[in-house]
A and B are shown apart, each in its own frame.
Chain A
Amino acid sequence: MGDLEERVKRNENDILRERLDTLASDVKELKTKKGVLSAFKDLALILTPLIIAGIGFYATYSIKGALEREQLQLSHLKEMRELMVKLSSPNTELSEAEATAVLLAAFGPPAIVPLIHELQADSLNRPLAAQEGLKALAFSNQKMTCEKLSQVLRSRTRLFKWETHKNVIELLSDMDCTDGLTVLKEFKTILESPGGFEKYSNLVRQAPDQKNFDKLVDKVKTAIQTLEK
């Protein structure tokens, strides 16, 4: 009996020790987990203000940048406006008008549309000056300028004059706008199709006479030849 009691006690002790070991390891595990959590917590405490500061800085910077860009564009527009007024003045001499157009080209892409518009002017000097400005743009923004010029030839809305078409054809060739080849070929097809003169006359604001129509055909042929070389 005494033996049995002793064995039972020993077993109970073993069980208790095992439980204690388990408990001890659980507590140790818990302690480790808590350490990681608290480390995360501490890190979060440090990072949160930094992240907020970063976001704040980025937002301020980007808004400020956008505002500055807007202001710059506005001041550019004001300067461009002054140049445009000078360019369109009937008292501006040709060489001065050309210099003004080249200066206008220094503003980059925003100058493309005003210069194309100048090609349309009912004037001798303004379209000539605008051509110089657009040629200057070929150095800095060739692709975009070529694309906008090609749009002029694509238009079928009687928005443009035949003189503008003539100047655009010459510019596409002078500026080496190889992307403009397709539109030039389409344009040539219209001009050389049966009844091409009448068809073309319906696409422009004022119909050219036969002499100027023939001139246009010659220009488009020369431009295609130049670009295909």
Chain B
Amino acid sequence: MKSIRSFSITFQAILFSFLLLLFCNTAPTQTIDCSGSSKSGNYQVYLDDLSYANVSLSNDGQLQNLMKRLSFKLASNVHALTLESTPIPLTVAYCEGRKPRGEGDFSENLVDALDDNNVILELWGQLDATTQNGSISNRKASICYVLVPVLLDEFKNPHKPGLQFALYPKDANIQSGELINLLEESIELEAFVAVGIGVNLLKNKKYDEAMKYLCKAQIILRQQHTGIAEVKQNALNDYIKQAVHKTVIDARSDPNYTGSLIDLVDENNPCP
């Protein structure tokens, strides 16, 4: 039973890696500099361009419309997060013309450089559809996320919890017009930002605040209706669990720390 389950997890990992490659690797790469990036020391979310998986799709009116709405929706979703009070302000960097392909474009050096610039998340999207006899159907969107601090810490992890993607619609019967509504319901973006902030705070020895953000991410990702694949979500959950545990251990061993984590009873489950 155990081996079947392990095979199933491996199969899922391969399948989703394949899908990730398929949806995040088809467009021509363009990892140009992010023009909207700043050196203010704020936490940054890089919002890259959306693109079509295939150039011929760019003439499809419905996809064009979807592209505009999706760009706006993503920008407003990210912007909404910046309005929340964070220990260090969160800003959105609009990276015009920047279109990474996927995992291959993110070398360890590049991820390290992004981390140096306090970039906690980079995301971009692609629109795809099936073309048959000149008619376009089965329109779908995929959003790729790079959780910079997570990818840097877990660069050698085969499940790559720092590299996530969400495919819409999850159900093939859903019409493309409903994609935006699905994105509206998506809660993973909030979780990814929370993880990025939490890990950065932990590395800056701000343990109580780090715990708050890591727990927030854990609670969001425990819910079932995120748009990300189960195997990737589990890998990220494991990473967050370890980060939460490390926060408690580091806080207790830090002679300058005097907060509430010292008296915590259950150090393995500190989140509510």
Query: Which residues of A are at the interface with B, using a C-beta cutoff of 8 A?
Result: 90-95, 122-128, 131, 163, 166, 206, 209-212, 214-215
Report chain B residues within 8 Å CB of A94.
31-32, 105, 110
Q: Is the CB of B203 within 8 A of A125?
A: no
Q: Is the CB of A125 within 8 A of B33?
A: yes
- Alpha-carbon gap, A127 to B203, bound state (A): 24
Q: Is the CB of B200 within 8 A of A211?
A: yes
11 A-B pairs whose Cβ atoms sit less than 8 Å apart in the complex:
A91-B32, A91-B97, A92-B32, A93-B32, A94-B32, A124-B117, A125-B32, A125-B33, A166-B116, A206-B39, A206-B41
The 4 A-B residue pairs with the shortest CB-CB distance, nearest first, are A211-B203, A94-B31, A210-B204, A90-B33
Map CB proximity to A onto B198-221 as digits: 1 under 8 Å, 0 otherwise. Answer: 001001110000000000000000
Report chain A residues within 8 Å CB of B41.
206, 209
A176 → chain B, closest Cβ, in Å? 18
Q: Is the CB of B109 within 8 A of A131?
A: yes
Given the known interface contacts A93-B30, A209-B204, the answer about A128 and B35 at a Cβ–Cβ threshold of 8 Å is no
- Alpha-carbon gap, A83 to B251, bound state (A): 49
Given the known interface contacts A122-B39, A124-B34, the answer about A212 and B116 at a Cβ–Cβ threshold of 8 Å is yes
Number of A-B contacts (CB under 8 A): 52
B39 (CB) vs chain A CBs: closest residue: A122
- Alpha-carbon gap, A122 to B116, bound state (A): 12
B27 → chain A, closest Cβ, in Å? 13
Q: Which of B30, B33, B200 is A123 in contact with, Cβ under 8 Å?
A: B33
B218 → chain A, closest Cβ, in Å? 21
- Alpha-carbon gap, A211 to B87, bound state (A): 15
Report chain B residues within 8 Å CB of A124.
33-34, 37, 110, 113-114, 117
Classify chain B: how many residues form its interface, as a range. 20 to 34
Report chain A residues within 8 Å CB of B109.
128, 131
- Alpha-carbon gap, A168 to B18, bound state (A): 37
Report chain B residues within 8 Å CB of A126.
33
Report chain A residues within 8 Å CB of B203.
210-211, 214
B31 → chain A, closest Cβ, in Å? 4
Report chain B residues within 8 Å CB of A210.
203-205
Q: Is B175 an interface residue (CB 8 A)?
A: no
Report chain A residues within 8 Å CB of B35.
90
- Alpha-carbon gap, A127 to B113, bound state (A): 9
Q: Is B131 an interface residue (CB 8 A)?
A: no
- Alpha-carbon gap, A166 to B117, bound state (A): 13
Secondary structure type dominating chain B contacts: loop
Known: A91-B97, A166-B116, A209-B41. 16 other contacts (CB 8 A): A90-B32, A90-B33, A91-B32, A92-B32, A124-B33, A124-B110, A124-B113, A124-B114, A125-B33, A126-B33, A127-B113, A209-B118, A209-B204, A210-B203, A211-B204, A214-B203
Q: Is B29 an interface residue (CB 8 A)?
A: yes
B90 → chain A, closest Cβ, in Å? 15
- Alpha-carbon gap, A92 to B97, bound state (A): 11
Q: Is the CB of B31 within 8 A of A163?
A: no
- Alpha-carbon gap, A166 to B113, bound state (A): 10
Given the known interface contacts A210-B203, A211-B204, the answer about A125 and B31 at a Cβ–Cβ threshold of 8 Å is yes
B38 (CB) vs chain A CBs: closest residue: A122
B20-57 interface with A by 8 A CB criterion: 29-35, 37, 39, 41
- Alpha-carbon gap, A94 to B31, bound state (A): 6
B149 (CB) vs chain A CBs: closest residue: A211
Report chain B residues within 8 Å CB of A128.
109-110, 113
Q: Is the CB of A93 within 8 A of B205?
A: no
Report chain B residues within 8 Å CB of A211.
200, 203-204
A92 → chain B, closest Cβ, in Å? 7
B203 → chain A, closest Cβ, in Å? 4
B30 (CB) vs chain A CBs: closest residue: A93
B262 → chain A, closest Cβ, in Å? 20
* Residue of A94, A214, A215 most packed against chain B (CB within 10 A): A94
Map CB proximity to A onto B179-210 as digits: 1 under 8 Å, 0 otherwise. Answer: 00000000000000000000010011100000
- Alpha-carbon gap, A128 to B109, bound state (A): 7
- Alpha-carbon gap, A212 to B35, bound state (A): 23
Map CB proximity to A onto B86-125 as digits: 1 under 8 Å, 0 otherwise. Answer: 0000000000010000000100011001101110000000
B201 (CB) vs chain A CBs: closest residue: A211
A55 → chain B, closest Cβ, in Å? 57
- Alpha-carbon gap, A206 to B31, bound state (A): 26
Report chain B residues within 8 Å CB of A127.
113
Report chain A residues within 8 Å CB of B205.
210
- Alpha-carbon gap, A125 to B37, bound state (A): 12
Report chain B residues within 8 Å CB of A209.
41, 118, 204
B152 (CB) vs chain A CBs: closest residue: A215
